[in-house]
Amino acid sequence: MSTVRQEPQGPLAGVRVLEIGTMIAGPVAATLLADFGAEVIKIEQPGDGDPIRRIGPFAEGESLWWNVEGRNKQSITIDLHLPDGQRLVRELAAKVDVVIENFRPGTLDKWGIGYQALSQANPHLVMLSVSGFGQTGPYATRPAYDRIALAFAGFLNMTGFPDRPPVRPGTAVADYQAALYGAFSIMVALFHRDHVGNRKGQHIDLSLYESIFRFTDVMLAAYDKLGLTRERKGNDNFAAAPGDHYPTMDGKFIALTVSNNAMFARVCRAIDRPELSDDERFESHAKRYANLAEINAIVGTWISSTPRDQVHATLDREGVAYSLIYGVDDIVRDAHYQARQSFVSVPHPRLGELKMQNITPRFSACPSGPIRPAPSLGEDTDKVLADLLGMSASQIAELREIKVV
């Protein structure tokens, strides 16, 4: 049975979302909408639920990853493999604004709950389908996950050092970037529906690889016009000179990147080498990049031979863009994170206070409500079926008896 849960608050209150997805890309798109007040009803498989619930690290038997990404949602259990479960999905889809799914293309159509079937029940429906390679094309039915999308989009080929294999980034960048694209595309489609499209919904086809490919900056244009290919260069980047992750005296690293003459002059003053601004080797960005090893060595020597507090104070005084490369222990102690409340402690019924990233960005006129903890599996099944579909307790009990919910 459902426990008492706070109603959604925020600028998207009144938008109702049915989430039929697992893991990150689709579900986190729903989480982003839920963070700003959308009512998100997550459908999970009875008994097992979303696989992310079973991926660690764990505290008191609870997946912490699930508790971050499952926040602000309701959880109901429906077996999508069963005809009665598919019927429930069609009935629920008639009551919502948005459906989000990230199954392999064709799966929901096979079950009778694809866009064509659901839009017949609800012509106003906006449906987001997230997949590795998209809904069309020769690779559409291939399975894909975050790392596969990073590889296919050309991202991994330029990540790492040239004498070593490609390196994956530290988080699921393709999944999370697709989630951002997904939330954005849903809002575009809702705007179109309500202001341009005469209340008619539509189907959104979002691929993991294109979410990454779009943000490979000038990679394609440079190849097309100049024949340039992007390869692994470690921390070397054409837009940064000087630019590197410089070791400090105490074993940390400082990230510093310069892309214009004004910032370079500030660096020169900071390291007490103002004459370098006029050195013909470094007088333009192009020349600095051509002599990158030399200028990086000069800056790196100053950083590694100067106490870190002094490095920070000097760079701050001169207005140089830089940051210590933070670990999470640095983050939780940092005054700026604390002042902006970039993370919060969410009261959790089983884990007590649970720290997680706060909702972002901040709106001056329509702030979001407080974060609600992730639900236990099926916590809201009875309430949702009763409130949205008008089912009686005996009808729900019968569905539970035959393992539909």
The percent of residues above 70 in pLDDT, for the chain, comes to 99
Total residues belonging to the chain: 405
pLDDT at residue 123 above 90? yes
What pLDDT is recorded for position 6?
A: 67
pLDDT at residue 122 above 60? yes
Q: What is the pLDDT of residues 129-187, one digit of tens each?
A: 999 999 999 999 999 999 999 999 999 999 999 999 999 999 999 999 999 999 999 99
Cβ contact 371:35 at 8 Å: yes
What pLDDT is recorded for position 319?
A: 97
Rounded to an integer, the average pLDDT of 353-368 is: 95
Inter-CA distances, 247 with 89, 304, 310, Å: 55, 6, 14
Cβ contact 305:254 at 8 Å: no
Rounded to an integer, the average pLDDT of 196-209 is: 96
The percent of residues above 90 in pLDDT, for the chain, comes to 97
> Which among 166, 173, 200, 180 is positioned nearest to 130, based on CA atoms?
180
| pLDDT-based confidence at residue 5 (cuts at 50, 70, 90) | low
Whole-prediction pTM: 0.95
Q: Chain-centre distance of CA 57, in angstroms?
A: 19
What pLDDT is recorded for position 9?
A: 84
Q: Measured between alpha carbons, how far is 224 from 201 in angstroms, rounded to an integer? A: 37
By annotation, the residues acting in catalysis are 175
pLDDT at residue 378 above 50? yes
3-state secondary structure the chain: CCCCCCCCCCCCCCCEEEEECCCCHHHHHHHHHHHCCCEEEEEECCCCCCHHHHCCCEECCEEHHHHHHCCCEEEEECCCCCHHHHHHHHHHHCCCCEEEECCCCCHHHHCCCCHHHHHHHCCCCEEEEEECCCCCCCCCCCCCCHHHHHHHCCCHHHCCCCCCCCCCCCCCHHHHHHHHHHHHHHHHHHHHHHHCCCCCCEEEEEEHHHHHHCCCCCHHHHHHHHCCCCCCCCCCCCCCCCEEEEECCCCCEEEEECCCHHHHHHHHHHCCCHHHHHCCCCCCHHHHHHCHHHHHHHHHHHHHCCCHHHHHHHHHHHCCCEEECCCHHHHHHCHHHHHCCCEEEEEECCCEEEEEECCCCCCCCCCCCCCCCCCCCCCCHHHHHHHHHCCCHHHHHHHHHCCCC
What is the per-residue burial (b if ≥16 Cβ within 10 Å, else e) of 337-370?
eeeeeeeeebebeebeebebebbeeeeeeeebbe
Q: Measured between alpha carbons, how far is 184 from 395 in angstroms, rounded to an integer? A: 38
What domains can you pick out in the chain, each with its CATH number?
16-214+339-401 (3.40.50.10540), 243-247+253-324 (3.30.1540.10)
Q: Measured between alpha carbons, how far is 276 from 284 in angstroms, rounded to an integer? A: 11
Phi and psi at 343, nearest 5°, equal -130, 155
| pLDDT-based confidence at residue 29 (cuts at 50, 70, 90) | very high
Rounded to an integer, the average pLDDT of 308-336 is: 98
What pLDDT is recorded for position 219?
A: 97
Rounded to an integer, the average pLDDT of 281-288 is: 97
What pLDDT is recorded for position 2?
A: 38
Cβ neighbourhood burial of 64 (10 Å; 0-12, 13-18, 19+): middle
Cβ neighbourhood burial of 35 (10 Å; 0-12, 13-18, 19+): buried
Cβ contact 96:15 at 8 Å: no
What pLDDT is recorded for position 3?
A: 43
Rounded to an integer, the average pLDDT of 338-351 is: 96
| pLDDT-based confidence at residue 1 (cuts at 50, 70, 90) | very low
